[in-house]
Structure formats: C-alpha cells, structure tokens
Amino acid sequence: MFDASTLIWLVSCMLLPVINSLDNGLARTPPMGWMDWERFRCNIDCKNDPDNCIGEKLLMDTADRMAADGYRDAGYRYVSIDDCWMAKQRDANGKLQADPERFPRGMKFLADYMHNKSLLLGIYEDFGTRTCGGYPGSEFFLSDDAQTFADWGVDMLKLDGCNADKTDMSVGYPTMGFFLNKTGRPILYSCSWPAYTGSGAKTDYKLIAKSCNMWRNYADVEDSWASIYGIIQYYGKNPDNFAAVAGPGNWNDPDQLIIGDFGLSWEQQRVQMGMWAIMASPLFMSVDLRTIKPESRDLLLNKRVIAINQDPLGVQGSRLYQLGKVEVWTKPLQKKSYALAVLNGDNKGTPTKMTLTFGETRFDFNGVYAYNVTEAFDGKPLGIFSAKEKLQVTINPTGIFLAVAVPVPKKDLEHLWNK
C-alpha cells in the first residue's frame, strides 16, 4: 500500500509529459465575484439560522442581489462557496456530495441557477485528506473530483491546503490543474499553495503561475483594520518578488473584500478598495448583499476604481517609498497611463499633507509632456502636471488618496495654449 507522498510522486511521473501549464484562457483580468467565507464562515445551523447558514438559500439570495443590484454588470460574476458545503462522507461510489439538508437540490441545480442569471458558480475543496473544516478532502481523488465539478457545471475551484503534506504541493497542485483541464470545462483555478510553503521558505512563484489562475499567499483576511494593513504591508515588501509573475491569467490573491461588514471605518473601506485595485487583486466581496449599506455598495461598484483593477495591461502595482506611516504606490496602466495611491497608515492624529513631485513618481515622461490627473473615487479633475510640477494632497488617518494620470502629448497642450 503506497502512502500519499509516494502515490502522488508516481502519478506525477505519469503525467509529467503532459503537465505544462494551466491553459484555460480564463482570468485575463483579475476575477471578480463574491465568496461566503469571511462574512458567514462555517455556519451550518440552517435550523436556527436559515438565512445565514451555508446552504442553497444564501447562495441563491446572493445571486439574486448580484443580478438585480448592479454587481454582475460591474464585473462581479463568480458566486463562490467556501468550506463546509459538503456532506461529511463521500457517497458509496466515492463521489463528493453536497450536504443533503442544506443543498437539497444539489450543486448541479445551483450551478444552473447561477448560469441562468449570467453568473458563475465557484466551489471549495482541499488538497489534503480533509478540508480545514473537517470535510472530505481531495487527496487520492483529484481526477474524480475534477470531473465531478465539471459534471455539476462548476466554474471555479478554490483548492485549500489543510491536512496535507506541504512537500507534496509542488506536484499535487499542478496535478489537479491537469485534471481540471482534462475535463474540457474551463474552470478558474484558485490555489492556496504558496500560503502553505512555510515561514522562511522561498516560494517558486513562476512554477505556481504555470499551474494556477490565482493564489493565496498570506494569512486569511479578518474583519479589522489591522488585518487589511498587514496584508498591504506584506504586498509592499513583495517577498520572493511575487508581483513579477502577476498578469493576464495569473494573479496574487490578498483575500476577500470586507467592505460593508463590521470592522472597517469608511476611510478604511476606501483603503481596501483602492489598494486592492492598485495591487491588481481578485475582487471577491464577502458581505451580506441583502443588508449592505448604500455607501459601501456604491464603493464596491465604483467604475473608476474597478477600471484600475481591471486594466488589461495586468501589471501589479508596487510601493515606491515610505515616509513613516505614509507610503506611495503606483500601477502602470494601458496607453502609458498610471494609477497613483498615497496611503496613510497612521490610525491616530490628524490628516497628513504631502507634496508629490511628478518627476519622482517614476511615470514615463519619454514622449509625454505632462499628465492629466483625476481623483479616482469621485472623478474630480486635479489638473495637468509636468515632471517638475507638484501636487499637494491631504490623506486622513487610515485613509487613501487615489488618482489616475493620463498622458497629454505636447501637441495637445499647444492646442490648449493657442485657444
């Protein structure tokens, strides 16, 4: 009888000639959708809490709101179930099955419900023997589970890494990607692989990017400013240069948007939306869309900020420098444009004023005389700036300034001067 490591090694040897990369044509821009985990966790008590438990009703209610309230049309298309959706045991044939009480009509019905609303269904599994919540894992069942998801009409798989040997992951995650491709159904593949590589271990992001459409690489987001700020600092440090492999088809995933939940102030909600846009992050809301406040809804639907995130160039933004708790980030956009963010991480004191000189932003002024700058959240025009000109901005504590800079050729400026 082979142990897990040996079996995975034998399978990888057989598949090695055909596992090249994840070739599914998906995620050309960062995927957008909704995921239940941060807001609803592993609530399986549908008897006493039928509106909020992980079950058919919650997912259908969410799909209804995404279709009716503008989220789908803004680009949020995946409705993704995290852990705790399964029955505790596989069926007699070894197949995964949904909990029959919470999902009485099964996952195929739920996928069809999403598709009828022009939405997509995401689902969760784990590379190990059990999921993080203790449900059946995919170890020894990678091929069968991939085909089951395809047969159900699933459009996205998040594959976690609890209860697994991390030394197997460099083989196991690509193997699941191979089996997903083999089904013939395009299934967005979200991996938790780098989140389990271990403290201090170097992560081979080029290998991960060959196998996954998106991947978690840091701690789970919590409903707090400390969590959001910690994630931003990790992305600012950019260990193992993970930003370099981000681009169409492959994205670093700092985890779900908690905008509209309980832990963030209004300024901090703007920070998460703006920084997730700058970082070219997948945008997966985790909020009750049935009760969300209008201002949070409008923030999630902000077309100008979403456009920064969805820019087809697909470059992950980077931190230029820090001055105490204030930091400056830029993200190159298509057509020589840029997004510019100034983040104030200080949660005490008064608003901070900062003067930006555009020649220090690393904008490309080659062939560009100046940039036309617009504040991103509200669309307020800020003016036209050459490399030597300065812009003074004010950033509230735990707040953000976010702008888009579009190049203005010299001939266009001459036209304006001649008016």
Reduced 3-state DSSP string for the chain: CCCHHHHHHHHHHHHCCCCCCCCCCCCCCCCEEEECHHHHCCCCCCCCCCCCCCCHHHHHHHHHHHHHCCHHHHCCCEEECCCCCECCCCCCCCCCCECCCCCCCHHHHHHHHHHHCCCEEEEEEECCCECCCCCECCCCCHHHHHHHHHHHCCCEEEEECCCCCHHHHHHHHHHHHHHHHHCCCCCEEEECHHHHCCCCCCCCHHHHHHHCCEEECCCCCCCCHHHHHHHHHHHHHCHHHHHHHCECCEEEECCCECCCCCCCCHHHHHHHHHHHHHCCCCEEECCCCCCCCHHHHHHHCCHHHHHHHCCCCCCCCEEEEEECCEEEEEEECHHHCEEEEEEECCCCCCCEEEEEEHHHCCCCCCCCCEEEEEECCCCCEEEEECCCCEEEEEECCCEEEEEEEEEECHHHHHHHHCC
So which residues are the catalytic ones? 160, 220
